[in-house]
Amino acid sequence: MRTFAELNFSGRLIAVEGLDGSGKSTQIYLLKRWLEAEGIKVYFSEWNSSELVKSATSKGKKRELLTPSTFSLIHATDFADRYERHLLPLLRAGYVVLCDRYIFTAYARDVTRGCPPDWVRGIYNFAALPDLTFFFKADLEVSLNRILEGRPKLKFFEAGMDLRLSTDPYESFRIFQGRILEQYMAMSREFNFVVIDANQNVETQQGAIRKLVSERIDLEYFKRRSPLPLPPAFRRKKKLETEEDMAA
């Protein structure tokens, strides 16, 4: 497997990975805003967000109908749709693409749920590797507390309750996410993850991330050279994000 740079794409892809509650989504959001302020051509994509399968995934989760293999295939379909329709076109157009979770999420979660590792990797073999992958390594209790600060209880699949690891959702979360962490750490060297201490405060983490991105990627190359807007398909998304920020 090769990175997008090695495949001679004009753009670069940065991915973030980590356990639920690790703070990775906050960090990539802050990175996106910083890059935009610097005038960088940037696009953001997140796991399980394709309109093609999002509603089906939601219904399957609510009714608890998804087997591990079905879960895996639905997420692979979601990723393939976004990869072909969003990620590749923008990478060819010279954008810095930010992904909140990439194929490594499937490698970790699906294998933990019992899917054969070779089978899981096989269904994602069309995807190139990110040019830079950050892994946010947080203690399980830190992750759990962050989740519960934002909502009163854990989600069924987030806690791994479908695996019948424990009748206590909090204990199930610790077991399930602990096993996922083991998978991530096993992949860390294989895929050259940049491991970030996610127990640190937000500002310290963000400062380290910006420094590393600046060192690893020639951001000057990705600055806008003209005031031309984003392509229509992405302009609408950008407008919605701006309106949400103003309303916040």
Does residue 166 carry a pLDDT above 90? Answer: yes
- Two structure tokens written together for 137: 């390594």
- Residue partners of 140: CB distance under 8 A and separation at least 6: 19, 173, 174, 177, 178, 181
When pLDDT is averaged across residues 143-170 and rounded to a whole number, the result is: 91
pLDDT value of position 49: 82
Does residue 64 carry a pLDDT above 70? Answer: no
Maximum distance among all alpha carbons in the chain?
57
pLDDT value of position 236: 60
More confident residue, 150 or 26: 26
The model's pLDDT over 5-22, given as tens digits with 9 standing for 90+, comes to 999 999 999 999 999 999
Instruction: Strands of the chain (E only): list them.
Output: 12-18, 42-46, 96-100, 132-137, 194-197
49-80 burial: b if 16+ Cβ within 10 Å, else e: bbeebeeebeebbeeeebebeebbbbbbbbbb
pLDDT value of position 237: 58
Number of other CB atoms surrounding residue 150 within 10 Å: 7
Question: Can you name the residues that pair with 68 across neighbouring β-strands?
Answer: none
Cα separation, 184 vs 5, in Å, equals 23
pLDDT band at 66 (very low <50, low <70, confident <90, very high): confident
pLDDT value of position 238: 54
The model's pLDDT over 23-39, given as tens digits with 9 standing for 90+, comes to 999 999 999 999 999 99
When pLDDT is averaged across residues 64-68 and rounded to a whole number, the result is: 76
List the one residue out of 107, 101, 126 whose CA is nearest residue 25. 101
pLDDT value of position 207: 97
pLDDT band at 224 (very low <50, low <70, confident <90, very high): confident
When pLDDT is averaged across residues 192-207 and rounded to a whole number, the result is: 97
- Two structure tokens written together for 109: 């979660």
Cα separation, 243 vs 189, in Å, equals 40
- For the chain, which domains are there? 12-247 (3.40.50.300)
When pLDDT is averaged across residues 50-65 and rounded to a whole number, the result is: 72
> How far does the chain reach from its first CA to its final CA, in angstroms?
41
